[in-house]
Structure 1
Amino acid sequence: MMITFGIKYKNLLPALLILISCTKSMAQESAGKFPLIPYPAKLVAGKGSFVITRNTNIIAAKQFSNEATELNQLMLKGLGKQLLPAKNAKSNVIKFIYSEALTAPEAYQLNITTRQVIITAKDPAGVFHAIETIRQLLPVSIEKGKVSKALVLPALTIEDHPAYEWRGMHLDVSRHFFSVAYLKKFIDRMALYKMNKLHLHLTDDQGWRIEIKKYPKLTEEGAWRMFNNQDSACMKKAKDNPDFIIDKEHIIQRDGKTLYGGFYTQQEMKGVVAYAAARHIDIIPEIDMPGHMMAAINSYPFLTCNGENSWGKLFTKPICPGNETTYEFAQNVFSEIMDIFPSKYIHIGGDEVDRTDWEKSDSCKALMAREGIKDLPALQSYFINRMEKFFNSKGRKLIGWDEIIEGGISPTAIIMYWRTWVPDAPVKAVKNGNTVIMTPGEPLYFDNQPDQYSIDKVYHFNPIPKVLNAEEAKSIIGAQANIWTEMIPSEKRADYMYMPRLTALAEMLWTNQPDRYNSYLKRLVQHYGRMDAMKINYRLPDLPDLLNEYVFTDEGSLSISKPLPTLTIRYTIDGSLPDAKSRELPTALSITNNELVRVAAFTPNGTRGDVYNLNYTKQYMLGPAKIGHTKPGLACKYYKKAFKETALMKNAKTDSTFTINTIEVPSTVKAPSFGITYKGYIDVPADGIYSFYLTCDDGGVLRIGNNITVNNDGNHSAQERSGQAALKMGAHPFKLDFIEGGGGFTLKLKYSLNGSAPQDIPAEWFKN
């Protein structure tokens, strides 16, 4: 729609622009004064403040007695005393008022004046969210339990409610185990940021973590293991990073063997569930089946079709859907799970199932013939649908990973979408009538190594697929981040992986307003102090604008802006890791020889952030190649094969060739695993130091001239690596090797010249 201004109204335009500008400035000012995450739907600043003292009273509607207890626990930490209940106090009082008018679930109003604090809500969750807002408005010292004579709240009015029903976090306690105490810390942090669903992945091949009384060997044996390859990989990383040290409290000696593991008794878990419920967090248990059951099958081999328990090509042997004993076992297990977890949701997993043995099983063949089951995916669906009927008979709803839709699924099952490389899976589920929760690996797998782009990606993630209309979009009830713990062996490492990413997810799901990102970043800076007080081992902000590989022709220079004023940046040039005693980086460090500079930021208490390895290489300016007639674009070779590193493509058979003028994977590439070589020349328009930024999932190696400019090789999730080349104007040999190991790919290449902002390489630069 075009808006035109006639003569009568055109003079209003400058005033309108000024009003918009002032509104934005006021919003930014409010964000600075009230650093709340997630930011409320509506906040109006008042005048003055309300002072909470030991004489302040509390009045709570009877529906909110539990929330009054939660507020008093907060006051006990801050004042050393709980607030006194009253009936008719009109000043120096905090009131919880019930209102039918607030119809949105979890909504609340918070009105703070100089005389009183009034929290209005219809449901207890709304009152609790208001209390967490108050917690964020109180001084950071309250997190340390530092007692004061008075606590001051700024005067304001807030009207608030969440955009999404499902605001979740997932924690895998099977691969590495986490204590009851840590689960409660995790719950507290979720509550602070108004998250409301905790999905616990309680069982997998590597360990069974919940007591089942009918099958005691599940924890007597299945909760313990000798160190595996994931443990040894963590131990190797621990040499440079103590966060990878395996928590010793989960290591025992038994029968002369060193075992790792642990489990929750039913009583312990009921305590955790109650703790979460008091904070309006619903714990959803996951017992993963029919695959990922090695820990159970080790003790109960009757669960498989042939009694075998081993790894197949990709995954372990599943339990057998052709045997009635399998259903008896599953129903017995889930009956006890339902006694522990009152949640209406039960997660059955259903992902990554190796169905090979089912095809050979007589009992599976007989079942398929009897029930008219056409193929193995449909056989898995039979298992899932049968378990769903059992869940429903107990008043529960089944959740499964998105693979469960492959063989056909009932529209009443809830689908949890994770496979980024199958983008139509959530759309198919919605079209089938299913409710969907979005948990795509990119960007919501918080076990993927965070980088300078992670928070931005999480904050701007849109849970609603673009192809859905407004009515269909209602089937997407929210999202959650998943933390898989193969390489997360300690509580400190877990903290590092999800904080502060959790805050970005929390605000996105609560507000659904991506245009508040700059405001969020400013507010986040003020939350680091609160995280320090809460003893969260969060990931420090990235040191900005650093590359992996640098080149210089005469003299190099390193200068780094501090992302937080409280940080100290230290460095080494002898190859050792920086520590709290290493030299502080000067304003500009001069570099005249080939050098490895290792830098890291340190907090005032000595906590070290990420270590950055900066390689400096002295290089002559590379002259252009002498070439004859060229054609536009790069010549490409395509290999339909899985490679663990790009060098293995050298002797592979080429399946096809094509020419392309941009660095991308064309739509004609259909193989799940493949390799592509892009080869030709890059014709640069000016002399200079060119920086290249290569993002790959899985691996890539960029060569310009005869040099490796960026090495991002190997099978890994999407990550950026960077490097430089000193180039004279003209054409230079260019080669990019890229491999995809399966599970979805990412390939991006950007450049900058002499420190300019990164941008796409113009198509006309590529020749062959």
Structure 2
Amino acid sequence: MFKPLWSMVLCVLLHSAVNAQERYGIIPYPQQLVPQQGEFVITANTKLVAPAMFRNEAAQLQALITQGIGRVLPVAAKGSIVFRQDNQLEGEEDYKLNISTTQVLISAKTATGAFRAVETIRQLMPPSIEGVKTGKQTKISIPAADITDHPVYAWRGMHLDVSRHFFSVSYLKKFIDLLALYKMNKLHLHLTDDQGWRIEIKKYPLLTQQGAWREFNNQDSICMEKAKTNPDMEMDKSHIIHRNGKTLYGGFYTQVQMKDVIAYAAARHIEIIPEIDMPGHMMAAINAYPYLSCTGGTSWGKFFTTPICPCKETTFTFAEDVFTEIAALFPSQYIHLGADEVEKSSWKTFPGCEEVMKANNLQTVEELQSYFVKRMEKFFNSKGKKLIGWDEILEGGISPTAVLMYWRSWVPDAPIKAAKNGNYVIMTPGNPLYFDGIPDRNSVSNVYHFEPVPKALTADEAKYIIGAQANIWTEWIPNEKRADFMFMPRMTALAEVLWTHRSDYDGYLQRLNTQYKRLDRLNVHYRMPDLEGFTEDNVFVDKTVLNIAKPMADMTIRYTTDGTAPNVHSAEFPANYIIPGTVSIKLAGFSPSGNRSDIYTLNYRKQSYFKPVDVSGLQQGLRLDYYYGEYKSVTKLKEKADSVIHVHNAIMPDSLGHGGQSFGAKITGYIDVPSTAIYSFFLTADDGANLYIENEKVIDNDGWHAPLQKSGQIALQKGLHPFEIKFVEGGGGYTLKLEYRVNGGKIQPIPDEWLQSVK
């Protein structure tokens, strides 16, 4: 059949765009990249030129080249790989790369900019250079291009909680390498919490002798239970010891070890920011030194543990001693004080606090916390450091120089207030930047489409938003393999948001596909792309065939039907698999390196089409019953609602956020489907939600959890069908989203006109 010229031209352009993404598969993508013909070839005869100021960065490039050709390039006065200082560049991290068939010219104002250029060159090199110290290739080819690049945001960070579960020095270095590869520049280490004190403080040896170790707690037991069906959840045995007849979990970093990690990060132009969380989250320290609390010990209150006491001078002596050692150990300009989630009830009853509040004209315990934070900030300043605190430091009054780290997405005005007050803000909202939340098919997209600057800020006020970071809280991340899975590849999406800040999601996904082989060779146990074409709970009316498209060409999909988790020895899933009847299938994808995807459980059952109901007197939209109070399951909602409103779709109105408090909701009506078919539904909830159609539970996404998508199917005849969503929120930010798909089509929101309710 004849194709019009415009169609052929379009095909050529699309093919060229895809090839360009594969040829220049860089994440984050440069601000400006002009493709050039040909490639530059590095061999043992290639010479390198580098001034003294770029000695470290040249050594980093040499190490990459050695990983390829097994040789260190000769350094000469003239050569074809040239580092050059360019003071015309504006920023500390700016760089230019001019790669032709005859030369690689690396221009930067500072060593940091030169290093960012080296990491771009690294991503242009073939993945085969990774994972070895001395390679045996005869050459390394990189595509020709002219690149001009700089970051949009100064703070591009990752946080790692090493208190709840501990991570080795070698893993910290692996983590740093990945940050460097994707041009992240801050590592926020959460070093202390109730569950463990992880950094040596010489003046207080019990902090690590006792505070670094614990008997297994409820978080460990949950991980152990999950490990029965998911080996990625196993406890790391290298952090388990036996002492005095007890089995203990833990570990800590000596100051010598931490100096080594800091130097390793500095060589890769990454700043490590230590967090010693005070005044709350201090159980590990108070257990070792009970005098630190107002009550002479610590226990769990309604939500959090007893904090240290801001009404005793001995508390400030302890804090200043600790931070004196921390300030000397960490060269970062910042120290993070934490200051979040403080259980202040013990302050209200301690006589000494009444005296301190009266002496300092403080009216509330929130002002008492602000008194503690401001006093610590003055001490930090005396050591040449700046204070960072979680956004609770706004409560009771914030100093004009503190840096605020925003995390409570249910308090959306917190970063706005701080920026308008002239405080610098780092954005870390729980949704989507808490990477301890279990990832689903939407997770990478949600991160990629995150906008760091709140809309309510003017252009001048927006300058106080200095960047963002993602946080990895490790209550349910018991080992290094699981940590990899939780933050990769989500971090690559954040890296592009913060460096490039240009939305090209389709292009990003194409470039991400080129990254997986590199990550395989770096032994990163990343979360593989999602398998598609099914839901978790499936129905069939007649004979059903299941086809699953591989999201990666070299992926092998394996399955079981006996309830066991698939592994590399399980049967390969065939094309055109005929569903044999009521069955439960477990699927997983495997890369050639043995990396495994999520384990998908597909339940199939036979069902007849539900006939429509005949109801008159309907209006477009749904009824929403709202319930005040705490409900840990949708099955616990009481009969009578506290209020009732009308909504247009299965979306919770922002007006019902209830200040971050717990609540429940029931959304009811009818869904008017336009054709007879098996409908797939996808329900994303934070915390819990169930979907019922025709009084059938289609999706069970109950329980308190971070944003998580679950899916299910139901066979419906054309017309009206009873419809209900039950939803519970445990407190904090909430998410509720319902989508559908029919006949293998695109997953999309349910149209408003499908939803009706009784007037």
Q: TM-score category by the smaller chain?
A: over 0.9
The equivalent residue for 2:606 is 618
Rounded to whole Å, the distance in 1 between the matches of 2:479 and 2:236 is: 5
After TM superposition, give the deviation of residue 327 of structure 1 in Å: 0.9
Rounded to whole Å, the distance in 2 between the matches of 1:355 and 1:207 is: 21
| Distance change (3 Å), C-alpha of 1:436 and 1:16 | farther
CA contact (8 A) 2:287 2:297 kept: no
The equivalent residue for 1:365 is 354
User: Is 1:693 aligned with 2:682?
Assistant: yes
CA contact (8 A) 2:29 2:500 kept: yes
| Distance change (3 Å), C-alpha of 1:248 and 1:471 | same
Pick aligned residue for 1:71 from 61, 68, 71: 61
Amino acid paired to 1:262 = G
User: Is 1:192 aligned with 2:192?
Assistant: no
> What secondary structure is seen at the aligned counterpart in 1 of 2:650?
coil
After TM superposition, give the deviation of residue 652 of structure 1 in Å: 5.4
| Distance change (3 Å), C-alpha of 1:667 and 1:172 | closer
The equivalent residue for 1:148 is 137
Q: TM-score, normalised by structure 2?
A: 0.95
User: Is 1:32 aligned with 2:32?
Assistant: no
Rounded to whole Å, the distance in 1 between the matches of 2:685 and 2:534 is: 18
> What secondary structure is seen at the aligned counterpart in 1 of 2:519?
helix
After TM superposition, give the deviation of residue 149 of structure 1 in Å: 3.1
Rounded to whole Å, the distance in 2 between the matches of 1:204 and 1:668 is: 34
The equivalent residue for 2:108 is 121
User: Is 1:519 aligned with 2:539?
Assistant: no
> What secondary structure is seen at the aligned counterpart in 2 of 1:479?
strand
Alignment of 1:372-451 (within 5 A): 372-451=361-440
CA contact (8 A) 1:749 1:761 kept: no
| Distance change (3 Å), C-alpha of 1:466 and 1:18 | farther
> What's the CA shift string for 1:661-699, capped at 9, x where partnerless?
422223553531111122333333332222222111111
Rounded to whole Å, the distance in 1 between the matches of 2:720 and 2:330 is: 65
CA contact (8 A) 1:639 1:652 kept: no
After TM superposition, give the deviation of residue 55 of structure 1 in Å: 3.0
Amino acid paired to 1:379 = L
> What secondary structure is seen at the aligned counterpart in 2 of 1:477?
strand
> What's the CA shift string for 1:628-664, capped at 9, x where partnerless?
6545543433211111111111x45532233434222
Pick aligned residue for 1:130 from 117, 130, 145: 117
Rounded to whole Å, the distance in 2 between the matches of 1:736 and 1:708 is: 10
CA contact (8 A) 1:221 1:299 kept: yes
CA contact (8 A) 1:684 1:765 kept: no
| Distance change (3 Å), C-alpha of 1:385 and 1:149 | same
Rounded to whole Å, the distance in 1 between the matches of 2:7 and 2:469 is: 38
The equivalent residue for 2:647 is 660
Rounded to whole Å, the distance in 1 between the matches of 2:36 and 2:615 is: 71
The equivalent residue for 2:632 is 644
User: Is 1:739 aligned with 2:728?
Assistant: yes
| Distance change (3 Å), C-alpha of 1:632 and 1:165 | closer
| Distance change (3 Å), C-alpha of 1:694 and 1:47 | closer
> What's the CA shift string for 1:15-65, capped at 9, x where partnerless?
999999998876554322111111111122333333323333222222112
Alignment of 1:71-110 (within 5 A): 71-87=61-77, 89=78, 91=79, 93-110=80-97
Please identify, of 505-514 and 744-753, the stretch whose mean Cα deviation from structure 2 is larger: 744-753
The equivalent residue for 2:35 is 45
CA contact (8 A) 1:554 1:592 kept: no
> What's the CA shift string for 1:590-621, capped at 9, x where partnerless?
22522212111122243321111111121111
After TM superposition, give the deviation of residue 406 of structure 1 in Å: 1.4
Pick aligned residue for 1:236 from 222, 225, 234: 225
Rounded to whole Å, the distance in 2 between the matches of 1:408 and 1:246 is: 42
Rounded to whole Å, the distance in 1 between the matches of 2:9 and 2:368 is: 62
> What secondary structure is seen at the aligned counterpart in 2 of 1:348?
strand
> What secondary structure is seen at the aligned counterpart in 2 of 1:601?
strand
After TM superposition, give the deviation of residue 726 of structure 1 in Å: 1.3
The equivalent residue for 1:8 is none
The equivalent residue for 2:531 is 543
Rounded to whole Å, the distance in 1 between the matches of 2:100 and 2:674 is: 64
> What secondary structure is seen at the aligned counterpart in 2 of 1:306?
coil
CA contact (8 A) 2:533 2:744 kept: no
Rounded to whole Å, the distance in 2 between the matches of 1:624 and 1:153 is: 62
Alignment of 1:128-527 (within 5 A): 128-145=115-132, 146-514=135-503, 516-527=504-515
Rounded to whole Å, the distance in 2 between the matches of 1:684 and 1:111 is: 57
Rounded to whole Å, the distance in 2 between the matches of 1:552 and 1:53 is: 60
| Distance change (3 Å), C-alpha of 1:519 and 1:311 | same
> What's the CA shift string for 1:279-307, capped at 9, x where partnerless?
00000000000000000000111110111
Rounded to whole Å, the distance in 2 between the matches of 1:324 and 1:375 is: 20
The equivalent residue for 1:569 is 557
> What's the CA shift string for 1:158-210, capped at 9, x where partnerless?
11111110110110000000011110111111111111100000000000000
> What secondary structure is seen at the aligned counterpart in 2 of 1:420?
coil
Amino acid paired to 1:752 = R
Structural RMSD (CA): 2.1
| Distance change (3 Å), C-alpha of 1:79 and 1:586 | closer
Rounded to whole Å, the distance in 2 between the matches of 1:755 and 1:583 is: 25
Give unmatched runs, 5+ long, in structure 1. 1-14
Rounded to whole Å, the distance in 2 between the matches of 1:509 and 1:242 is: 34
Amino acid paired to 1:45 = P
| Distance change (3 Å), C-alpha of 1:605 and 1:767 | same
> What secondary structure is seen at the aligned counterpart in 1 of 2:277?
coil
Rounded to whole Å, the distance in 2 between the matches of 1:120 and 1:628 is: 72
> What's the CA shift string for 1:700-730, capped at 9, x where partnerless?
1111113111111111111111212212233
Rounded to whole Å, the distance in 1 between the matches of 2:453 and 2:490 is: 20
After TM superposition, give the deviation of residue 627 of structure 1 in Å: 4.1
> What secondary structure is seen at the aligned counterpart in 2 of 1:234?
helix
Rounded to whole Å, the distance in 1 between the matches of 2:141 and 2:675 is: 60
Size of the aligned set, in residue pairs, is 749
Please identify, of 633-642 and 517-526, the stretch whose mean Cα deviation from structure 2 is larger: 633-642
Give unmatched runs, 5+ long, in structure 2. none
Alignment of 1:678-757 (within 5 A): 678-757=667-746
> What secondary structure is seen at the aligned counterpart in 1 of 2:550?
coil
After TM superposition, give the deviation of residue 111 of structure 1 in Å: 1.6
Rounded to whole Å, the distance in 2 between the matches of 1:164 and 1:149 is: 39
CA contact (8 A) 2:568 2:590 kept: yes
Rounded to whole Å, the distance in 2 between the matches of 1:82 and 1:150 is: 13
> What secondary structure is seen at the aligned counterpart in 1 of 2:629?
coil
After TM superposition, give the deviation of residue 68 of structure 1 in Å: 2.1
User: Is 1:581 aligned with 2:569?
Assistant: yes
After TM superposition, give the deviation of residue 761 of structure 1 in Å: 3.6
After TM superposition, give the deviation of residue 73 of structure 1 in Å: 2.3
Please identify, of 271-280 and 752-761, the stretch whose mean Cα deviation from structure 2 is larger: 752-761
Rounded to whole Å, the distance in 2 between the matches of 1:20 and 1:394 is: 61
> What secondary structure is seen at the aligned counterpart in 2 of 1:677?
strand
Rounded to whole Å, the distance in 1 between the matches of 2:9 and 2:578 is: 48
CA contact (8 A) 2:436 2:472 kept: yes
After TM superposition, give the deviation of residue 118 of structure 1 in Å: 1.6
Rounded to whole Å, the distance in 1 between the matches of 2:396 and 2:534 is: 48
- Give the share of equivalent positions with the same residue, in percent: 55
Amino acid paired to 1:700 = A
> What secondary structure is seen at the aligned counterpart in 2 of 1:85?
coil
Rounded to whole Å, the distance in 2 between the matches of 1:751 and 1:406 is: 42
| Distance change (3 Å), C-alpha of 1:84 and 1:472 | same
After TM superposition, give the deviation of residue 509 of structure 1 in Å: 0.9
Rounded to whole Å, the distance in 2 between the matches of 1:333 and 1:19 is: 67
